[in-house]
Amino acid sequence: MYDIEPHYFWRDDYIASEDENSPFFRRENSEFYFENKIYNYFIHPQWDPFGSPTLYMKALFVDYDEGFAILEMFGEWNDCIHNDVMFLKRNIAEPMMEKGIKKFILICENVLNFHGDDDCYYEEWSEELTEEGGYIALVNTLQHVEEEMNSTWLDNYLSFGHQFNNLNWRKLKPQQLVMKVEEILMRQTKRLGL
């Protein structure tokens, strides 16, 4: 697991530790010293902790003018034991929302497991964003993770599923990824007649 590192091709355009509005402002990541673990496995030092002992992330790109954030997730998302969504909402999403972010794209291809529990934080987060015309979209979710999210009814609050999977997002610029996600959301809305 130590060799899985966050996407770094957008670093010329955005670095969270240099963004004074970011929850990760002035955070220093080692290139060589491995200190964070998921269970007994060291992970790459470029992943940022945000409160969960098993789920880490990297803020890949944030655009305050357009109101969107692209966050890459890594590890085990465990709401059952650790209430990871609480850490994500309180420590990351809420500070970003205070700065005008209303669209969240979570890259989930490195979320290795999901254990669901209560959906209150998802409902709260979704309602706050919907009032502002925002959304939470999960990209490239693994099938077993998606199935567990469906079984806990998170599709009521998050947009994910086969339409958002297999997106070759690494070849896109951040704005292009947002456009692709919003095209999918628009097609879903039309199909549902909303």
State the average pLDDT over residues 30-52.
Answer: 88
**Pairwise CA distance, residues 19 & 25, whole Å:** 6
Which one is the CATH code of 16-192: 3.40.50.300, 3.30.750.24, 3.40.50.920, 3.40.718.10?
A: 3.30.750.24
pLDDT value of position 160: 96
pLDDT value of position 194: 54
pLDDT value of position 111: 98
State the average pLDDT over residues 95-108.
Answer: 98
pLDDT value of position 92: 98
In the chain, what is the straight-line distance between the N-terminal and C-terminal CA atoms, in Å?
Answer: 42
**What does the pLDDT look like over 47-70, one tens digit per residue?**
999 999 999 999 999 999 999 999
Given a cut of 80, whether residue 31 has pLDDT beyond it is no
**What does the pLDDT look like over 144-158, one tens digit per residue?**
999 999 999 999 999
Given a cut of 60, whether residue 44 has pLDDT beyond it is yes
Residue owning tokens 């794209």? 105
List the alpha helices (DSSP H) in 7-114: 84-87, 94-98
State the average pLDDT over residues 117-138.
Answer: 94
State the average pLDDT over residues 117-128.
Answer: 95
pLDDT value of position 193: 64
Enter the pTM of the model. Answer: 0.95
Give the C-alpha distances (Å, rounded to integers) separating 96 from 86, 91, 162, 177.
Answer: 15, 9, 28, 19
- Residue ranges of the domains in the chain? 16-192
**What does the pLDDT look like over 13-27, one tens digit per residue?**
999 999 999 999 998
